[in-house]
Amino acid sequence: MTAKVVTITSGKGGVGKTTAVANIAVALASRGQKVVCIDGDIGLRNLDVVMGLENRIVYDLVDVVEGRCRLRQAMIHDKRLPELYLIPAAQTRDKSAVSPSDMVRLCDELRPDCDWIVIDSPAGIERGFRNAIAPADKVLVMTNPEVSAVRDADRVVGLLDAEEKGPASLIINRINPAMVKRGDMLSVEDVLDLLAIELIGIVPEDENVLVASNRGTPLALDGKSRAGLAFQNIARRLLGETVPFLDFEAPNLLQRLFTGRK
């Protein structure tokens, strides 16, 4: 095994990165993959809460980096799936406790015995972001269909190119088909038109997401909801399957995806 490291990042905060990491990790693990998630949001950890593993934290990422425990000891096994693990962030430290090279070293140690490492990046373009992207083989940029979020995503896409971490792939979260139809929300097309990167997922606005996060049971565990299905599809695309996009997108989207932009 040699794991692929996938980092989910955004620019703007609150667009749904943590939700996506939890769900994509669950979806990959439910397909028989061995998955380790890392919460890179030091000081504001919450991947553990969304995954329902908060009460099992003993050691965290900073403990590993500073040598207070072995890597294995900080990996919390999510018992709902055979091979899903979480390395939580430290809550009481700040981002400077970890460096980009620490992250690279840690992932290199994990790589030989898992299939996927999925990293939750904090919002913004500072230290925490650079920590999260340093070990990445693939970066997924997440945005909401909203002008300011797309603007920040564009900035991040540019920085990723500059850091030679591109080309990034795009997840558009919280699409509301009715609002798009009324012309009150940017469409998938509008967002792609500006960012001009590969689309890997479209997740609809879905109130089940909030309910699931509060309960600590990621939606993709059962996959009946629309958002859960969308996250399952992202996992399948990461695994190399060709999966058609769900049907709440602009009619000529597929054509556009196949023909490219220029």
Contact status: 178 vs ligand ATP (CB under 6 A): no
Q: Which is nearer to another protein, 154 or 205 (CB)?
A: 154
Q: How far apart are CA 254 and CA 131, in angstroms?
A: 35
Q: Quick one: DSSP state of residue 68?
A: S
Sheet-wide strand order for 4-9: 76-77, 84-87, 35-39, 116-120, 4-9, 138-143, 169-175, 198-204
Residues 7-36 touching Mg ion, rule: CB under 5 A, are 17-18
Q: How far apart are CA 196 and CA 190, in angstroms?
A: 10
Q: How far apart are CA 120 and CA 79, in angstroms?
A: 20
Residues in Cβ contact with 181 at an 8 Å cutoff, skipping those fewer than 6 apart:
none
Q: How far apart are CA 142 and CA 132, in angstroms?
A: 14
Contact status: 196 vs another protein (CB under 8 A): yes
Stretch in the footprint of another protein (CB under 8 A) among 50-58, 63-71, 159-167, 213-221 = 159-167
Site map (CB under 8 A) of another protein, residues 103-132, x = contact? ----------------------x-x--x--
Which of Mg ion, another protein, ligand ATP, none does residue 130 bind (CB under 5 to 8 Å by kind)? another protein
Could you tell me the smallest distance in angstroms from the CB atom of residue 241 to ligand ATP?
22
Of 39, 41, 102, 154, the one binding ligand ATP by CB under 6 A: 41
* Contact residues for another protein, defined by CB under 8 A: 96, 99-101, 125, 127, 130, 134, 151-152, 154-155, 157-159, 161-164, 194, 196
